[in-house]
Structures are given as structure tokens and as C-alpha cells.
A = this chain, B = another copy of it.
Amino acid sequence: MSDVAAGRRARGGGGSARRAERTAVSFETAKFIQRNIPNFEILNEEALQIIEHNAETVLEEIGVNFVENEAALQRWRDAGADVRGERVRIPRGLARELVKTAPKSFTQHARNPERSVEIGGRNLVLAPVYGPPFVHDAKGGRRYATIADFRNFVKLGYMSKWLHHSGGTVCEPTDIPVNKRHLDMLLAHMTLSDKPFMGSVTEPSRAADSVEMAKILFGSDFVDQNTVMTSLININSPMTFDGIMMGALEEYAKANQAAIVSPFIVGGAMAPVTVAGTLTQVLAEVLAGVSYSQLIRKGAPVIAGAFVTSIDMNSGAPTFGTPEASHITYGVGQLVRRLGLPYRSAGGFCGSKLPDAQAAYESANSLNMGLLSGVNFMLHACGWLEGGLVSSYEKFVMDADQLGALHHLAQGVALDENGQGMEAIREVGPGGHYLGCAHTQANFKTAFWRSDLLDYKPYETWAEEGARDTMALAGERVQKMLADYQAPHLDEGIREALEGYVARKKESMPDAFL
């Protein structure tokens, strides 16, 4: 990482840039979570073996489709699969063998080396909501998202202490032509934040643009040798790998950039209505997708994922924070760890239209499950509303505050002499009070997590101050953060080069809104 820093300084162009860097406001970001607690393992060994056996049966007997992608079919033939039409049947054990070349863990570099993240192992990296076409705030209500909203969410993410990653499509900038959006989104992540970010996946050419812009930001050699983007490649469940998504995967894998290979599951619709059936299909899909990435480039970094929701069988609506989604998320975690791959799942999921109690119940259910299920990369950790249709300003800061609790929960229980606290119990004794004792005085600043947003005031004070609910507190926080925002330092030459690339690319093609 010191290479990046040195490289950046070298590009930085001398004393004035260094001075600007020193004087810029720096917003504190916590280090990615390094778990010191066990994972919750809902499946026993026998259950895991049944599901693993069944997944291999699915790959061997039913197979998966690689759609509109002749090169992929040829790669599978060469690897020893049985290919008929677009159907790829993978002999038992082959996919499991192929995924072994994927790294157990990898570094995604940020342009600020202090904010680089290690994805895998016992780590958890938190990234914001991805994909909503709408935004919501308490004053303006729900409306289509714009590039101004997008920039706001990147700013909020940059200033959020417990968020390690700037994410990708934090909302869809619907005021920009579809074929040019990715350029403005990448430019925002690269210039308004110094946290790691995601690349575009909506067309292979946009993935290529992402790599080109990353080379401007990090330097071409650096990008060739290091992973600087982690991008979201959804599988069209059940068992379908479409040409566009695989094209993007191919671009990233070739460039040694990371892909999240992630079945998109609405239980009962895209997967069997039972948990074990869904686990079987997810494992088969992950095996096929990740092994395909290794056919493109052995050792290409991959995250094996699952986006999971259940369905309300009364209305067909997707539901969030439900027990069945938890079962699946815990189970996929165990299966992915047995493959030795980094794991993506969970998030602050909810179906609510407002950042109200429903949103918080459902999101807390999901966030806690995500931590305990051993997730390594959690997309949608903050800001998700209404089943992912909406990026909520208030919920972004509400969830981002709760992410602090996950950090503390993951620390586990200290059992050194200070942790045991026997001298405190001796000092205080029966009927005493710990607030004033030496052990409390020595530890109180770091002993307990406290929310930086929620209300801890006495009732009377809270009532005098306007009896604000959480949404109101969060709305005020959003306004203050956006007012206080200051961009991280970026070398002017790099900024101009990025802006030039975006301008040239935009000029090179007509607008397209589909």
C-alpha cells in the first residue's frame, strides 16, 4: 500500500498539493470489521453434505444456461463440461475443483491507502445501498433519483464513520442517459470520496470504461497488478448466466478486478420455496459462476454471494428481514466458507415505504444476521428502503449509525486482566456503586458503544426539544452532513484527466434512455 501512497504523491505535483492534503478536513472512517466472535452455524455436517451433494447433482444432471455467449460455451467445453445448446452440465466435482484457484481473501485498494479493505477471512466490509431508481427524504417524499442525489449519497457515505466502502449505484441518476450514467457515477465516487468503490456492470463496454478510469485514478501499472474495484455480477436465478453480466465479469476478471458473483433470489419465485432447496440452487449457481471466473483468469478475485428475500404468498410482494431469509443467509455462509471464498450477503433490508419502525425491525434483523452469518462484503448496509426501490436519505444515516453497533459486537469479549475486572468487584463490594471506581474511570470512554444519532435524553428534555422521532433526527443530521461536507484531496491533474475522459466518452455517443 505504501506504493500507492508513493505513487500518488509522485503524481501530486509538489509542495502546494501536499500542503492542501494536510489541511483538508478528514472524516474519520473505522477500519473494516475484523471479527473476534464465532459465526452462527445453523446447519450441521450432515445437512451440509446433503446440500453439497444435491448441488453437484444439479450441476451434473440439470445444468445451467450460459445465454448468448458462444465464447463461454467453448470455455466450458474446453474445461470438460457437457455443453448442449446453451445448457452447460458440469461433471460432479469439476466446479469445486475450478474454484480452488480463486483467492480466499484479497485487498481492494482505495485511493487513500488507509481506506483499503481486505475482503475475506474473518473480515466484514460494509458498503451502501445499490440500485434504487427513487430517492426519499422526509421533506420531499419519494421521487426519481438524479445525479445530484447520487453525489449527495456519495458524500454521506464518505462522511459515515462505520461505512468502509463508497459502493456503486447508490441510486440511479435517472436524469442522465442510460448509456452515460456510469461515467458520472464513477467520477463521483472517484472525486467526492476516497473510499473503495464499485465499477459498472450494465454493459461490457461500461466495465471497460470503469477499468480505464481506474487506471487514470490509480495509475495503469497499479491497476494491472492490484484490485481497485469490486463489482456486482448478478446471476439470473434459476441457473441462468446472461451474456451482458458475464461480459462484464469477463472484463473485470481479465483485468484482475473483483466480481461479486451473486444469485438474485426471491424465494418461491426464483428458487424453491424451501430453505434447503434454495441453498442447493444457490450453491450450484455460485459454483458455476465462480468457476467460470476462474476459466477467464485463474486467481481472479471473486466474492461468492447471495441476495436473498422471501415472498409474501398473499400478495407476491418481496419481504425482508424474515426468518427464512436468515436461514438461507446463515446456510450460504457455511457453504461458501467450505469453498474457501469470500462471502457477500445481507444488508439493511426492509420493505417499508418510510424509515419507520417496520424499516428498522426488518433492517436490524438483516444486519445482525449478516454479522453472525460470516458475511465478508455487505452491500446495501445502509440507505435501503421499500424493497430496494428507494434510497432513503434518513435511513442512510440511521443504518450507518447502527453499523457502529456491529463493529462493537464483532470485537467479542476481552478476557485479559482488565477485562476480568476482579479488582473492580473487590473495590466496590456488595451494595456499592461502580461509577466512581478506578476500573470504571480507566475504561468508561471505550467500554460501551453509543449511538451518535439516537435519542438518549430524559423525557422532559426530549419533549422540550420538539419530541422528534428518529426520522426527524436523521433528517437534521443529513442536512448538517451535506452542509459540512468537504471533498478529500485529489491531485488536479488526475481530476482533469478523469473529467476529460468522461467528456470525451459522452461526446462519442448519442444519448440513449433505454
Are B358 and A470 in contact, with the CB atoms below 8 A? yes
Q: Name the distance in Å between A358's Cβ and chain B's nearest Cβ.
A: 4
* In the complex, chain B residues whose CB is within 8 Å of the CB of A267: 447-448
A412 adjacent to B327 (CB under 8 Å): yes
Contact with B along A391-432 (1 / 0, CB 8 A): 000000010001001101101111100111110111011111
Q: In the complex the two chains form, is A42's CB within 8 Å of B37's CB? A: yes
A273 B405 Cβ-Cβ under 8 A: no
Residue A240, interface by CB 8 Å = yes
| A386 & B272 in contact (Cβ 8 Å cutoff) | no
Given A425-B238, A445-B313, verify A409-B327 contact (CB < 8 Å).
yes
How far in angstroms is the closest Cβ of chain B from A355?
6
Q: Are B424 and A277 closer than 8 Å at their CB atoms? A: yes
A280 within 8 A of B: yes
Q: List chain B residues, Cβ under 8 A from A368.
A: 364-365, 368-369
With a cutoff of 8 Å between Cβ atoms, the chain B residues found around residue A458 in the complex are 317
Do the beta carbons of B50 and A420 come within 8 Å of each other? yes
Verify A319–B450 contact, CB threshold 8 A: yes
Known A274-B420, A310-B448, A368-B368; contact A319-B434, beta-carbon cutoff 8 A? no
CB distance from A56 to the nearest CB of B (A): 12
Select from chain B the residue with minimum beta-carbon distance to A363. Answer: B361
Say how far A223's CB is from chain B's closest CB, in angstroms. 35
B364 touches A277 (CB 8 A): no
User: A59-98, CB under 8 A of B: which get 1 and which 0?
Assistant: 0011111010000000000000000000100000000000
What residues of chain B lie closer than 8 Å to A435, measured between beta carbons?
268-269, 316
Q: Indicate whether A27 reaches chain B with its CB closer than 8 angstroms.
A: no
Q: Is the CB of B405 within 8 A of A365?
A: yes
CA distance A275 to B447 in the complex (A): 9
Contact (Cβ within 8 A) A425 B280: yes
Report whether B42 and A274 are in contact in the complex, using a CB–CB cutoff of 8 Å: no
The answer to whether A26 has its CB under 8 Å from any CB of chain B is no
Contact present for A459 and B142 (CB under 8 Å): yes
Q: From residue A457, how far is it (CB to closest CB) to chain B in Å?
A: 7
Chain B residues within 8 Å of A433, by CB = 269-270
Alpha-carbon distance A451/B431, docked complex (angstroms): 45
Instruction: Give every chain B residue within 8 A of A474 (Cβ-Cβ).
Output: 357
A271 within 8 A of B: yes
- Please report the C-alpha to C-alpha distance between residue A54 and residue B423 in the assembled complex, in whole angstroms: 11
A440 to chain B: closest residue by CB: B273
> 0/1 per residue, A372-406, Cβ < 8 Å to B?
10000000000000100100000000100010011
Q: A358 near B455 (CB under 8 angstroms)? A: yes
Q: Does A322 contact B (CB under 8 A)?
A: yes
A57 within 8 A of B: yes
CB-based contact A471/B356 at 8 Å: yes
B358 to A361, Cβ gap below 8 A?
Answer: no
Are B372 and A40 closer than 8 Å at their CB atoms?
yes
A311 at the interface (CB under 8 A from B): yes
**Docked pose: A64 CA to B43 CA in angstroms:** 43
How far does the alpha carbon of A112 sit from the alpha carbon of B57 in the complex, in Å? 50
Contacts A274-B419, A324-B408 supplied; 9 other A-B pairs, CB < 8 Å:
A64-B430, A267-B448, A268-B434, A268-B448, A276-B413, A280-B422, A281-B425, A313-B448, A357-B360
Can you give 27 contacting A-B residue pairs, CB < 8 Å?
A37-B42, A38-B41, A38-B42, A65-B430, A238-B425, A268-B435, A269-B435, A270-B433, A272-B434, A272-B439, A273-B424, A273-B447, A274-B418, A274-B419, A280-B422, A316-B435, A323-B406, A331-B413, A351-B455, A352-B470, A353-B455, A353-B463, A358-B360, A358-B469, A359-B360, A361-B363, A364-B365
Closest 7 A/B residue pairs (Cβ): A277-B421, A364-B364, A360-B360, A272-B421, A323-B409, A323-B408, A357-B470
